[in-house]
Amino acid sequence: MKQLITTMELWKEGDMYTSYCPELDIASYGHTPSEARLNLSEVIRIQLEETEKLGTLDEFLQDAGYDTDKEAYRTRRHIISFEEIVVPVLV
């Protein structure tokens, strides 16, 4: 069984936590950070299972930037950092 190596962004919105996988453009949420992480993993797993059933898993992962011929699915893109920036809005 292969593993998918990916990243997750996690942030708080009101009383909920949002989890997001930028490589796959998949998001989920939860009442706690742990629940949001778990829910994101579940949604990703379901997405992978469904694309496998359709016969499009490798295409889906390759489009997302993953190598599909290795022991684990790893992205060819590596996130260096997340930073907050300030952009002037002239309106």
Alpha-carbon distance 32 to 11, whole Å? 10
Q: Are 36 and 29 in contact (CB under 8 A)?
A: yes
Q: Give the domain ranges of the chain.
A: 4-75
* pLDDT attached to residue 88: 93
Burial class (CB in 10 A: 0-12, 13-18, 19+), 81: exposed
pLDDT in tens, 17-57: 999 999 999 999 999 999 999 999 999 999 999 999 999 99
pLDDT in tens, 47-78: 999 999 999 999 999 999 998 877 888 888 77
Dihedral (Cα; 46, 50, 55, 57), 10-degree rounding: -30
Fold of the 4-75 domain: Double Stranded RNA Binding Domain (3.30.160)
Alpha-carbon distance 10 to 48, whole Å? 21
